[in-house]
Amino acid sequence: MKLKQAIKSYEKYIQVTKSKGTYRFTKGKTKTLLDYFGNTDCELIDRAFILDFILFLRDRNHKITNASINKYIGLLLRILKNECDIIVKFDKLPEEKKMIKVIPDNVIQKVFNYLDNDLYPEFLRNLVMFHLLLDTGLRISELLSLRIQNFDFETRTILVTTTKTKVDRYVFYSPETQILLTQYIVRQKIDSHIFINLTTREPLSVDRVQKICQNLQQKIKTRYSISPHKWRHTFATKFVSKNGNMEVLRILLGHTTLLTTQKYLHINAEKLRMEYERVNYLSGLRA
């Protein structure tokens, strides 16, 4: 079997069995695999082929990280195993452990202040969207799938039924968000999907929300990314910083294993500075 045939079959499998986000990720990566391996027989792809592919990726993009390369290799190995029953042993390249980036409190407040006016009806929609992202830690695809019937407005609870893991879960939101959400639903006569294009009444796409975030970042003049996933990171980091239970956080985020959730057990720069100053100046470190 040619790899291009295996890729086509694997993409169909992902489309049927996995989330839309996983399918988008797969489609985004298989194009490069097709460009390089397309007409290669699957049986010929071995460690040497993969090493040459890594050199190709690095030559094409000198700034590509090992983490990005590992995603390509991991996908290739899964395709070979799932579609051709071929197992190629190849160790992951070492990855840099980078601090998870969150949105600072002052930037969050800038976003809320900028949108907290009636200049455009979209402002209230976007304000509700960012409040819910911060309150719940939802993935953007999960947020955009929400319909009005997913909400229990009395208990401020959301039943998330379109998830990456195909497992339903509950998340919760604040009284402040409840007020904004109610205003938005009433004003825009929302009766199905919560987050819609207010002109066409069609559900917002992930790409459109990404563009909203980019435009807003320019408007408030911040160097910090306010992409949807940064709000998820920020929610999780705040939860951990307040000594929240890690198993509860795992369930709220929709992770399948606690190992994935534990990446949020980091100390951000502000906490490092505060602890340094507490020890240095209050405990006489320099004495």
Residues 72 and 126 in one domain: no
Q: Tell me: the pLDDT tens digits for 20-72?
A: 888 888 999 999 999 998 789 999 999 999 999 999 999 999 999 999 999 99
Residues 124 and 64 in one domain: no
Residue 82 pLDDT > 70, yes or no?
yes
pLDDT of 187 reads 96
Burial of residue 195 (CB within 10 Å: 0-12, 13-18, 19+) is buried
- Is 43 contained in some domain? yes
Residue 221 pLDDT > 90, yes or no?
yes
Q: Which pLDDT band, with edges at 50, 70 and 90, does 281 fall under?
A: low
- Rounded CA separation 187/195 (Å): 13
Residues 63 and 162 in one domain: no
Residue 277 pLDDT > 80, yes or no?
no
Of 143-147, 174-178, 182-186, 282-286, the poorest mean pLDDT is in 282-286
- Is 150 contained in some domain? yes
Q: Tell me: the pLDDT tens digits for 118-177?
A: 889 999 999 999 999 999 999 999 999 999 999 999 999 999 999 988 899 999 999 999
Tokens for 57? Answer: 């990726």
- Is 276 contained in some domain? no
The residue among 84, 116, 149 that closes a domain is: 84
Residues 27 and 133 in one domain: no
Burial of residue 146 (CB within 10 Å: 0-12, 13-18, 19+) is buried
Tokens for 147? Answer: 């319909």
Strands lying side by side in the sheet with 157-160: 151-152, 157-160, 169-172
- Rounded CA separation 177/164 (Å): 24
Mean pLDDT on 218-232: 96
Residue 91 pLDDT > 70, yes or no?
yes
- Is 153 contained in some domain? yes
Residues 115 and 77 in one domain: no
DSSP-derived secondary structure for 198-249: TTT-PBPPHHHHHHHHHHHHHHTT-SS---HHHHHHHHHHHHHHTT--HHHH
Residues 121 and 214 in one domain: yes
Residues 128 and 266 in one domain: yes
Task: Tell me the percentage of the chain whose pLDDT exceeds 90.
Answer: 79
Residues 33 and 121 in one domain: no
pLDDT of 99 reads 75
Residues 160 and 52 in one domain: no
Residue carrying structure tokens 């160790």:
91
Question: Average pLDDT of the chain?
Answer: 92
Total domains in the fold of the chain: 2
Q: Which pLDDT band, with edges at 50, 70 and 90, does 287 fall under?
A: low
Tokens for 193? Answer: 């999907």
Comparing C-alpha atoms, which of 168, 180, 169, 172 is closest to residue 130?
180
CA 113 to mean position of chain CA atoms: 24
- Is 281 contained in some domain? no
- Is 195 contained in some domain? yes
pLDDT of 94 reads 93
pLDDT of 270 reads 67
234: CATH: 1.10.443.10
- Is 258 contained in some domain? yes
Element (H, E) at 175: helix 175-188
Mean pLDDT on 201-219: 96
Residue carrying structure tokens 């320019």:
218
Angle at the Cα of 264 (from 90 to 223), degrees rounded to 5?
100
Non-local CB neighbours of 165 within 8 Å, separated by 6+ positions: 19, 254, 256
pLDDT greater at residue 281 or residue 123 = 123
Q: Which residues constitute the domain of residue 62?
A: 3-84
pLDDT of 263 reads 82
Residues 198 and 230 in one domain: yes
pLDDT of 262 reads 85
- Is 218 contained in some domain? yes
**3-state SS, residue 4:** helix
Comparing C-alpha atoms, which of 226, 222, 208 is closest to residue 122?
208
73: CATH: 1.10.150
Residues 186 and 146 in one domain: yes
Residues 47 and 131 in one domain: no
pLDDT of 22 reads 87
